[in-house]
Structure 1
């Protein structure tokens, strides 16, 4: 039901700093809406907010207008996991409020649609869309898709909470990097390695196209060393960095992404730092069964079946390897579909491929 691009964008929230700020716009675009809002609330007020609006508009909502928002009141009266829609009378009342006249009208807010999901520990997630571009009012299909998006966003945010700890001292940041199942390094502007996670150490030792030479990260292919150094220097000095494809062997390559280290990562010491992520092209994702168990509530057996499917095994092969009937695997698949919000084996495999490569205890 959801595109692989949208699923990947949703689950990027778990590991990528900027993804939460971007996801409201991605969802709005996917469903044909002009504006989007994602809010994490605790104690009746938002503690984290992403809107497809200018920063000053978002700040105004956080500082004052969220207290007047009648749609938030409708949301609060809607049960978790149900679409938040407004009837004709509620819409008319909405247009007569101070919130609409002084705030919502200015940004073209009409035809709101949303969903509210629990996150635990007194927090909840609110997803809202408005200004439908495809129709006058939200359609039943829009409502169903919104419910699916709500479930996936709930899981992605909960996963991010499990992986929290990236902000803080050197020890907590290194522990977080070690949870990522692909290579990650933190360097200074001149390429000196400040940190290298376990997956990165293993990849470099096995020949992934990158080397650590005299403490500096460089390309195994000398002709590409200058390009890598240039990207690292750019990202450390306020630039956006970029991507490279480095030769790792006769028929193998490494995909390398260079980006600025998020400013709130609070890495100890002075000066800017750069984050370098890398993995061999075509390397298996090694989906972690614990991730599926802790995030989606799969049983141990269901998680093992899901992992086997991503490895290209058929239902018959999985049944033979596990010593069970194919009907048992089919039954487990139906349960997996329900828990992951997917409806077919193809959709499930595409969805699992979009999950972040992380390790969950």
Structure 2
């Protein structure tokens, strides 16, 4: 059997190898799990701006996002940690048995994830916020011994220093590649999120979809809906997208329907976007509003249908609900001239009625 010191040495070697090779925190927490013999190992960073990130081994982005979105604010251990000096602490030192019996984290979340029931944590504070490194064990496993606690303390000390180091390093692959400027120039509403599910950028169109009217808002840089079940669906979809980003899965999630109080529902579609160096590193959410009728460019309609510029303009106007008379008046032409043009449009598109012209343009608008 490998002794604790050998296990810790191997884990620290793996941690620094991961840092040297540019691997992310997922690799680091795997080594932490090996060092401490934990059933689950977490790294949580909470910034002074209220944002929180969690990396977990075994890899489970859905449960990590669920905890950060729905349970972190209800976890009484974290405010109590802030009242203590930095160091090692256990759940038993932060909560009584009576509190655990009525704690939503334990009675709801940990019932579904029993491997997290007992926690030993090393945490520290800095100007940038809080770093918490936790080793979890199931309720059916004995409490960790002194050697396991010592391993966690040593490993956490190294890991926390690396977190601080990485926070000082320049990032921003997305910005370097100019993708943010490209997204900002789109009419489509786009949000970009990182591998922690944090929304790191919203283009102007997406910002207009946040608020009471849409039923969506940002809480701790995470998308939250007015209905808890919709928030859960968004969390699952973000987690599934992160699995694609991490090459743990190949199927992107289905769109999530977000009900709105006074309008048709909004739909969220999820994509995995590659960074400039090749690997997929960030996710994209597209906000699809069925009430917003997209109007294709005249030149695009011309290229797709063979219509002349005037004919394409008339077809788009019909799609937008204009009558022949109003179009003629706006163009400064006679209604008879526009009706002749309408016949040319119908012949070229192979249709007979104006409603069919609108359907043809609607199909182009969806491209």
Larger radius of gyration: 2
**Structure 1 length-normalised TM:** 0.43
Structure having greater relative contact order (Cα 8 Å, sep ≥ 6)? 1
**Structure 2 length-normalised TM:** 0.43
